[in-house]
Structures are given as C-alpha cells and as structure tokens.
Amino acid sequence: MHQRDVVSWTTMIAGCMQNGSGEDALKLFLQMYLAGMTPDSTTFTSILPACADLGALQQGMEIHENVIRSGYLFDPVVENALIDMYAKCGSIQKARAVFDKMRWQDVVSWTAMISGYAQNGWGEEALKLFPQMQAAGMKPNSKTFSSVLSACANFAALEQGMEVHGKIMKCGFQSDVPVGNTLIDMYAKCGSISEARELFDTMQQRDAVSWTAMIAGYAMHGCGDEAVKLFKQMEHSGLSPDHVTFVCVLSACCHAGLVQEGYQYFNCMSNCYHITPSIEHYSCMVDILGRAGHLDEAEDFINRMPIKPDATVWSSLLGACRIHNNIQLGEYVAGRIFELDPKSAAPYVLLSNIFAAAGKWGGIEKVRKMMKDRCIEKTPGCSWIEINNQMHAFITGHGSHQE
C-alpha cells in the first residue's frame, strides 16, 4: 500500500490476533506508532489482548500511557480491555485501579474484574464483588457466573457455590454448556463429586470440556476406575479428547495405580489422536510409575524423554522416593531439582522428610543448613473453612485469626 491509515494498521493488528500471533501484533503496533499514526479505540482494544495473552505487562503499561495521551482513557470498551490485560498479566491491583476509576461499569467491566480476581487466586475478593455487582443493578451473564463459580471452586466455597447455582437457575442459564461445565468443576473441587456427576448426567448438551471436567473430578477424588470408564464413554460419544483430557485421565490412573492403563493412554495420545505429549503428560507418567513403586523404570523413562525434563518431572519422582523411602535415588533427584529450580523450598522439604522417615537425623541437619545457606524459606501451610458464607483462613504457626 502506498498510503496506510489507522484502519489499515488496525486491521492488520486484529488479523494477527485472530491468527494467534500476539508478538507480530505488538511489532505492528510499534511500527504504526513510529510511522506517526495515532491509534483509535479499536486499535487499543485489538492490541491490549496481545499483551494479555503474552503476559507482556511492561508493553501493556506503555500502551496504557498511550491510551491516556490519545484521549481514550474513559472509553468503556478500552477500559474493559485494560482491566482484562492487567488481570491476565498478574497485576490485579492495577486492574482494580482502572475499574475503580471508571465513570460507569457495565456487565463486562464487573465480569472482567471478578474473573481477574478468580484467575489470580483472589477468590474471596471475587466473591465479595459479585453481590456488589448485583446491588449496582447489573445482571450477570454466563461469563460472570462461570467466573464466580471458578472462584468458589478454587476457594472450596461450597455453600456460596450452591447459592450461585440457585441464581443460575433463576436467571435461566442452567442449559448454558460453559456454565454447566464450571458447575461440574465447582462441585468436584468442593468435594461433592456425586452432585457433579448428577449435573453431568442431566446436561442436555455436552462438549469436550464437560467430559474433561467430570474426568478431572473423578481423578481428583481418586476414582480412577470411574475416570477411565468415562474416558471410554467420551471416545464412544464421538468427541475427541484433547491434551487436557489426557492429563486428567493419566492423573486418574496415577491415583488408582493403573500402570498399564497409563501407558496405554500415554501412547494413545500420539498414535490415535496425533497429540504430542507435553511436560505435564510426561510428569503424569513418571508419577504413575513412581507411585506404583517402579522407581528405576520411572528414572529410565525420564532419561529417555525427547524433551528436557523440568523440575516438575523430577519432583514427581522425588515424591515417589518419599513414598517408598528410597534415600539414594531421592538425594540424586533432589540435586537435579536444586539445579533446575534453586529457589523452591519443596524439594528440600521432601528430601528432609525422606531422611526423617529413615531416621537419618544427620541428613535432616544437612538439608536445613543448605536451606539456610541458600536463603530458602518454607512457605507456611494455609487452610480455609467456610462458616455462614464467610471464608476463614488459617496459616500454620500463626495465631492471628480473630477467633
């Protein structure tokens, strides 16, 4: 093109995003800026998702400054994109700051903020914001309900999840497939696997996510046989499992001690569905072998991996060494993890537990000295309890709770 206007540039940026090329979209935006073009609201709402998808917080902040300079600060669509970008980049405080400064928040604004809290582990804040949204006269949509249910699931807030379920029924979203999927996930994660299965069975329509959520629920509850049975039913239904489904069914095999079935599904990924196994799948296989006591086989499996094993893969084997009290292999594996993830306290704790189980007190002192010398601190344990729709957190070693 001899001449390019803002529409030309924005169309190309949007095209890159539609094709999943966020990096190219950011490069084009920079070229547009250097060419002296002033972005409009459509440009900003096209480029901010690129920052969100890439976790490019610094570029997102620079674009935010550009939004202010261009006079689009109070454009609600741009503000919503900013909230989403900051939340997905892990800067939830900045997302809330944009939300609080909005002249008027619509359902998209509230949903983006609730979703941001849920995604970043701020479940309590998400659950506080939901009634505030309703008090402001906003009617939740399917995405709002899915976000709130995710917060309930991650926070194990069953009573509040059941209340949200009631609102879903009143608002007529009970037949919405994504909402149904998050309901299954919520009930499973809150410990009510029978309720999750009842919802699954009564769904008028199911997609691959529905099946995967139910398989994941069974895996989470140690119901390996049920998970495997459901996986076979999914295949017979004509729906193809994806990489997440295989993580779930492999996890189920792990907790149920189904070694041969685990191998079968691991090989089925590439042979039947042309899915290349990822680190998660390899980690699951190591976990399956390790928990079943096949430690040497698990180590050999790692050494034969076509991709470089990360700390997660080795941690699966270290956990197995803890279960089966294998000190020699445990020390070797822990050393590999120290190299790959030197700041994590988890392998030190596991190694210490292996020594403790064997009565090797000198080994425990050695681990403690290593942690001290390397300035490694163990993260205190935390648990939650729900009482009268209020979540109470308790931290190990702290007496700070008001009651």
pLDDT band at 376 (very low <50, low <70, confident <90, very high): confident
pLDDT band at 223 (very low <50, low <70, confident <90, very high): very high
- Residue 385: beta bridge partners? 392
- Residue 390: beta bridge partners? 387
pLDDT band at 13 (very low <50, low <70, confident <90, very high): very high
Q: pLDDT at residue 402 above 80?
A: no
Q: pLDDT at residue 216 above 60?
A: yes
Mean pLDDT lowest among 147-156, 164-173, 295-304, 374-383:
374-383
pLDDT band at 140 (very low <50, low <70, confident <90, very high): very high
For 332, other C-beta atoms within 10 Å of its C-beta total 15
- Residue 386: beta bridge partners? 391
- pTM of the predicted protein model: 0.84
Q: Which of these, 243, 214, 210, 236, lies nearest to 226 by C-alpha position?
A: 214
Percent of the chain with pLDDT over 90: 81
- Residue 391: beta bridge partners? 386
State residue 33's pLDDT score: 86
Mean pLDDT lowest among 42-56, 106-120, 201-215, 374-388:
374-388
Section 137-149 average pLDDT: 95
State residue 373's pLDDT score: 86
What's the angle, vertex CA 266, arms to CA 261 and CA 271, rounded to 5? 115
Where do we find the tokens 């709130």?
148
- Report the mean per-residue pLDDT for the chain: 91
State residue 399's pLDDT score: 54
Section 369-386 average pLDDT: 71
Mean pLDDT lowest among 67-81, 197-211, 240-254, 369-383:
369-383
Distances (CA, A) of 132 to 34, 48, 77, 110: 43, 27, 21, 9
Q: pLDDT at residue 358 above 90?
A: no
Q: Which of these, 383, 395, 136, 166, lies nearest to 148 by C-alpha position?
A: 166
What is the per-residue pLDDT across 259-286, written as a single tens digit (0 to 9) for each?
999 999 999 999 999 999 999 999 999 9
pLDDT band at 295 (very low <50, low <70, confident <90, very high): very high
pLDDT band at 67 (very low <50, low <70, confident <90, very high): very high
pLDDT band at 375 (very low <50, low <70, confident <90, very high): confident
Q: Which of these, 62, 1, 75, 2, lies nearest to 26 by C-alpha position?
A: 62
State residue 395's pLDDT score: 44
Section 244-273 average pLDDT: 95
Q: Which of these, 350, 345, 401, 332, lies nearest to 375 by C-alpha position?
A: 345
Percent of the chain with pLDDT over 70: 93
What's the angle, vertex CA 93, arms to CA 82 and CA 137, rounded to 5? 70
Return the HEC string of the chain: CCCCCHHHHHHHHHHHHHCCCHHHHHHHHHHHHHCCCCCCHHHHHHHHHHHHHHCCHHHHHHHHHHHHHHCCCCCHHHHHHHHHHHHHCCCHHHHHHHHHHCCCCCHHHHHHHHHHHHHCCCHHHHHHHHHHHHHCCCCCCHHHHHHHHHHHHHHCCHHHHHHHHHHHHHHCCCCCHHHHHHHHHHHHHCCCHHHHHHHHHHCCCCCHHHHHHHHHHHHHCCCHHHHHHHHHHHHHHCCCCCHHHHHHHHHHHHHHCCHHHHHHHHHHHHHHHCCCCCHHHHHHHHHHHHHCCCHHHHHHHHHCCCCCCCHHHHHHHHHHHHHHCCHHHHHHHHHHHHHHCCCCCHHHHHHHHHHHHCCCHHHHHHHHHHHHHCCCCCCCCEEEEEECCEEEEEECCCCCCCC
CB contact set of 4 (below 8 Å; sequence gap of 6+): 35, 37
| End-to-end Cα distance, the chain | 70
Report the alpha-carbon distance of residue 193 to residue 206 in Å, rounded. Answer: 18
What is the per-residue pLDDT across 189-209, written as a single tens digit (0 to 9) for each?
999 999 999 999 999 999 999
Where do we find the tokens 């993580």?
247
